[in-house]
């Protein structure tokens, strides 16, 4: 029987880039994932969607599962022979109860590994420009729980030692008790004028940092309505924040950008400039329901003068089917290739195929204008008579170009090479983020990505988008969104993701 195993994985404090490579590798082979609330939900997008997801988080004091129930779930799933990932915010062994979970696994004879994560005790101050140690200010630091009832007689916190024995103190989960914590430190010898900072949602676009003295920080936290999760740093290193703060100085700091299609490297400049990407894919690419029409076209492929690819997906699925039909590149000899867009052209060239034509505008209208102007052999003036075109495309596509070709006397076949489907998912967290104003820009790369978004979000989809800046890839997408009563604020001249990203960056700079 297959032997189960549990990985206790630290997801880091929020910035998805702080998840370790080893943690990511373990998650990608997970069969069961037991995860907490205080982590970047985008991490879940990297996990096999066939895995079983068990939410065990705590928000606002409400526990989805008790610790005993979590322990039992880990044991039960491992004993079923499954690879189980216990995904925890921060580090599992820094106030994460990972030690307790590991003890249970040892008792039950279950193999486990611990994958450390970046603790918020280190990351939040670092993103706020506060080093925990510095040759001039601090040679030691301590990390202390802030949610213990410090008024109880049997408190495990030695306040005298902490107040006088360490240069820097870091309190986790201490916002609710901040008044009592600061009073205890002062009472046991810490100077009331010690610089103190509180960092909320460290490493996230929502990060907010307030700085004061030990005696006044509790009042400032209340005044600024700072709520959990937050980290408090006490010590002279806080003085360095004005000089060293870097994250909050990034041009796109504070921007959380929704992308509704598969993430690509074209979105990376947004992250480099400080934005956080919220990936919520509303469209997935799948094979067509039937290959009948495509197979018929491939069987007579040598009869076409042109093959037009409107996307990298169309090219990918066409080539795969060509090979499945026991054909290869040699069967395309003599046929001219047209690509809609530079990304499509790049995908084709990477396959070793020359691209003969790329329209200036990356849409059907641009293709018509370029194609019938005569850019390509045997295309003369307004006549396409005798020209035979193959256009492998999505199952649902616009008829503008095929109709024009036929009007001008040309022949065109438009078999379905792939289809775009709506993924089965719920948008509970995204809906909450939108309602709370935590999404600044929503991007849509096709009418389908928008329409599927509306279907997934439900009746109030349009309402929750009204206060969000909307960016689109081109006019066809813009038309679908404006028809729904929403305003499109960002649209590039060139219909590519890269151009859209550039426009978002310029928009933010204004």
At residue 152, the pLDDT reads: 65
For residues 500 and 510, what is the distance between their CA atoms, to the nearest angstrom?
Answer: 16
pLDDT at 242 over 80: yes
Q: Is 335 left (phi over 0), alpha (psi -120 to 50) or beta?
A: beta
Residue 217 token pair = 């920080």
> Which stretch of DSSP H or E encloses residue 321?
helix 312-324
| Total of domains in the chain | 4
* Domain identity same for 334 and 218: no
pLDDT at 286 over 50: yes
Among residues 420, 454, 479, the one where a domain terminates is 420
For residues 232 and 118, what is the distance between their CA atoms, to the nearest angstrom?
Answer: 17
* Domain identity same for 410 and 464: no
pLDDT at 469 over 70: yes
* Domain identity same for 145 and 263: no
pLDDT at 381 over 60: no
Residue 271 token pair = 């992250």
* Domain identity same for 261 and 336: no
At residue 64, the pLDDT reads: 78
- 7-11, 52-56, 164-168: lowest mean pLDDT where? 52-56
Cβ atoms within 10 Å, residue 352 = 7
* Domain identity same for 98 and 87: yes
Using the 8-state DSSP alphabet, how is residue 325 labeled? T
Question: Are the beta carbons of 244 and 131 closer than 8 angstroms?
Answer: yes
| Mean pLDDT, the chain, whole residue set | 91
For residues 88 and 86, what is the distance between their CA atoms, to the nearest angstrom?
Answer: 6
Active site residues: 36, 58, 173
At residue 510, the pLDDT reads: 86
At residue 148, the pLDDT reads: 76
- Per-residue pLDDT of 319-362, as tens digits, reads 999 999 999 999 999 999 999 888 899 999 999 999 998 887 75
Question: Are the beta carbons of 447 and 480 closer than 8 angstroms?
Answer: yes
Using the 8-state DSSP alphabet, how is residue 16 labeled? G
Among residues 224, 249, 274, the one where a domain terminates is 249
pLDDT at 380 over 60: no
* Domain identity same for 110 and 162: no
Task: Tell me the three state secondary structure of residue 402.
Answer: helix
For residues 6 and 74, what is the distance between their CA atoms, to the nearest angstrom?
Answer: 7
* Domain identity same for 446 and 351: no
Query: CA angle at residue 494 from 316 to 257, to 5 degrees?
Result: 80
Cis status of the peptide bond prior to 485, with omega within 30 of 0: no
Q: By C-alpha distance, which of 45, 86, 2 is closest to 277?
A: 45
Chain-centroid distance of CA 468 in Å reads 18
Question: Are the beta carbons of 18 and 38 closer than 8 angstroms?
Answer: no
Question: Are the beta carbons of 393 and 416 closer than 8 angstroms?
Answer: yes
CATH no. for residue 364? 3.40.50.10090
Residue ranges making up the domain that contains 150: 122-249
* Domain identity same for 213 and 321: no
pTM: 0.84
């Amino acid at each position: 029987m297959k032997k189960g195993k549990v990985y206790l994985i630290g997801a880091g404090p929020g910035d998805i880039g702080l998840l370790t490579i080893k943690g990511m590798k373990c998650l990608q082979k997970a069969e069961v994932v037991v995860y907490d609330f205080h982590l970047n939900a985008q991490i879940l997008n990297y996990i096999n969607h066939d895995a079983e997801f068990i939410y065990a988080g705590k928000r606002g004091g409400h526990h989805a599962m008790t610790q005993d129930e979590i322990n039992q779930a880990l044991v039960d799933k491992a004993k079923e022979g499954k690879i189980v990932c216990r995904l925890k915010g921060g580090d599992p062994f820094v106030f994460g109860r990972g030690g307790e979970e590991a003890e249970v696994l040892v008792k039950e004879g279950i193999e486990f590994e611990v994958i450390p994560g970046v603790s918020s005790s280190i990351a939040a101050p670092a993103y706020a420009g506060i080093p925990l140690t510095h040759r001039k200010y601090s040679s030691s630091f301590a990390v202390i729980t802030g949610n213990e009832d410090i008024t109880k007689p049997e408190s495990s916190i030695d306040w005298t030692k902490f107040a006088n024995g360490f240069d820097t103190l870091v309190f986790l989960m201490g916002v609710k008790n901040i008044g009592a914590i600061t009073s205890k430190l002062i009472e046991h010898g810490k100077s009331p004028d010690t610089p103190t900072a509180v960092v909320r949602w460290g490493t996230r676009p929502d990060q907010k940092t307030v700085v004061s003295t030990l005696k006044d920080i509790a009042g400032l936290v209340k005044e600024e309505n700072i709520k959990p999760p937050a980290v408090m740093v006490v010590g002279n290193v806080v003085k360095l924040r004005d000089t060293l703060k870097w994250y909050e100085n990034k041009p796109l700091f504070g921007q959380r950008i929704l992308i509704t299609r598969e993430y690509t490297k074209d979105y990376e400049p947004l992250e480099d400039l400080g934005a956080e990407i919220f990936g919520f894919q509303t469209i997935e690419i799948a094979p067509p329901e039937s290959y009948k029409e495509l197979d018929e076209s491939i069987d007579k492929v040598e009869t076409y003068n042109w093959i037009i690819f409107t996307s990298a997906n169309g090219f990918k699925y066409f080539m795969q089917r060509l090979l499945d039909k026991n054909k290869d590149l040699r069967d395309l000899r003599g046929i001219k290739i047209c690509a809609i867009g530079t990304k499509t052209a790049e995908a084709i060239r990477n396959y070793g195929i020359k691209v003969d034509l790329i329209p200036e505008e990356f849409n059907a209208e641009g293709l018509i204008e370029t194609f019938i102007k005569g850019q390509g052999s045997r295309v003369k003036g307004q006549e396409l008579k005798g020209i035979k075109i193959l256009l492998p495309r999505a199952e649902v596509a616009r008829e503008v170009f095929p109709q024009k070709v036929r009007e001008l006397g040309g022949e065109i076949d438009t078999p379905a090479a792939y289809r775009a489907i709506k993924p089965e998912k719920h948008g509970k967290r995204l809906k909450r983020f939108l309602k709370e104003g935590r999404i600044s820009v929503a991007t849509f790369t096709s009418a389908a990505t928008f329409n599927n978004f509306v279907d997934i979000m439900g009746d109030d989809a349009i309402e929750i988008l009204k206060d969000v800046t909307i960016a689109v890839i081109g006019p066809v997408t813009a038309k679908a969104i404006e028809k729904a009563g929403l305003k499109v604020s960002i649209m590039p001249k060139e219909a590519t993701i890269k151009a859209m990203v550039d426009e978002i960056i310029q928009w933010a700079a204004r």
